Amino acid sequence: MRSDLLADDEQARLRFEADSWDQPDEVPMVETPGGRGAVVRWFVWGIIWAVVGGIIAIGITGWHILDRMTVDAVAGEPVGFDVAEDDDLAAVAARLAADGLIADADVFVWYAGRQGGVELVPGFYRIPLGAHMGDVLGTLRTPPNETYQRVTFPEGFTVVQIAARLDDRIPTLSAERFVELSADPTRRVPWRPPDISSLEGLLFPDTYQVSNADNEGQVIERMIELMERVALQEELEAGAERLGLTPYEVLTVASMIEREAKVDADRSRIARVIYNRLALGWNLEIDATLFYGADPDATFSELRSVDSPYNTYERSGLPPTPIANPGRASIRAALNPAPNPASGDPICSVLDDPTVGCVYLFYVLADADGSHAFAVTLEQHERNVAAARAAGLLG
């Protein structure tokens, strides 16, 4: 190697000044910003879990809505449904749910809003059982025939009264024909005994949309259908079995309650009076039964002496048929009679031993609003009757 090159390298080395950074004794640590990384990581994970939770919640909500889009019922023939003039969507949805035509009223209102809403047109619609909400909404979007009229049959109307109301409101329908068809023994009617031809007590009183194109038989069928639906909702068959009665007998009791009760609070106690008297083998002595099918001009005292199967002052047990067409409240009361008074109830204080035999056995009008006073002994009842006469409540 050339000596001149070596000399140059040596001179360069000697000129180089030592730098403390070239040979450090220790390597300094680089400090990271204290805790900020952990916060960021928790924040990111929080967002991720919130998103996941939201997705799960949306999924659950979606599943619930899908589950409620179809009612849990066996698909069947269309059933009648009335939309009244003053109905809004919430009212219609609530009634659809009550009738078992949709699974959830709130979901239906939400669904209708998502589908652009619906302009309700009063009328009578036929909606299949077990239909999807979309089909129910589609039916309600199809207007009914504009010749439909609302006809109201109040609770407690008899078949004859229903026929007269229909004849009066719908010129094309005949009261005589309605009564004739209502006595057809070949018509299939739930719970009607084979030896009974009358439909009394089996037509549900309500407001119906009736068209000039309808005939008397179609109106009857709709009223039977609605009574059947209400009875199923109120568990008529199970309740009758629990009471030791037939469904028809329960409807007979309900019809008497309908004609006797003027205020809702009395219905279940009147039911208890009826069942107590039946259990004791006493005559029911229900005033309303005397007037069923009787001369409207006859006095009460005259009717009490008439030999009729509906004279419950003279005949024991239930009358042979219902005496009117009961509404839901009276059917419910007949199925759920009030308990007898507790021994500490003031009504029981007239007994020698209030803990024994304190049961409702009598009732009479007590005030102008139609409320009744109940009694557990004849003497207590007679005092109530005297008070009612003094108040001018009895004829």
How much is the average pLDDT of 302-324?
95
Average per-residue pLDDT for the chain: 87
Question: Could you tell me which residue, 40 or 284, shows the higher pLDDT?
Answer: 284
- Confidence band of 60 (pLDDT split at 50, 70, 90): low
At 163-212, the pLDDT tens digits run: 999 999 998 899 999 999 999 999 999 999 999 999 999 999 999 988 87
Average of pLDDT values for 331-358? Answer: 95
What count of Cα atoms within 13 Å lies in the side-chain half-sphere of residue 350?
A: 15
Please give the average per-residue pLDDT across 306-313, as a whole number. 95
Report d(CA 348, CA 120) in Å as an integer: 54
Indicate whether 226 pLDDT > 70. yes
Paired strand residues for 209: 150
Between 121 and 351, the more confident residue is 351
Cα–Cα distance measured from residue 21 to residue 25, given in angstroms and rounded to the nearest whole number: 9
The 10s digit of each residue's pLDDT in 134-160 is 999 998 988 765 457 889 999 999 999
Residue 349 has pLDDT above 50, yes or no: yes
Give the pLDDT score at 128: 86
Q: What is the chain's alpha carbon radius of gyration, rounded to the nearest angstrom?
A: 39
- The C-alpha torsion from 262 through 268 and 269 to 273, rounded to 10°, is 110
CATH of domain 78-140: 3.30.1490.480
The answer, yes or no, to whether residue 374 has pLDDT greater than 80, is: yes
Same topology, domains 78-140 and 149-233? Answer is yes
Question: pLDDT value at position 13?
Answer: 55
For domain 149-233, give the fold: Dna Ligase; domain 1 (3.30.1490)
For the cut 70, the answer to whether the pLDDT of residue 261 exceeds it is yes
At which residue do the structure tokens 């068959």 appear? 237
3-class DSSP state of 126: strand
What pLDDT digit, counting tens, does each position of 113-139 carry? 999 999 988 877 888 888 899 999 998
pLDDT of residue 209: 86
Domain chopping of the chain, boundaries: 78-140, 149-233, 245-390
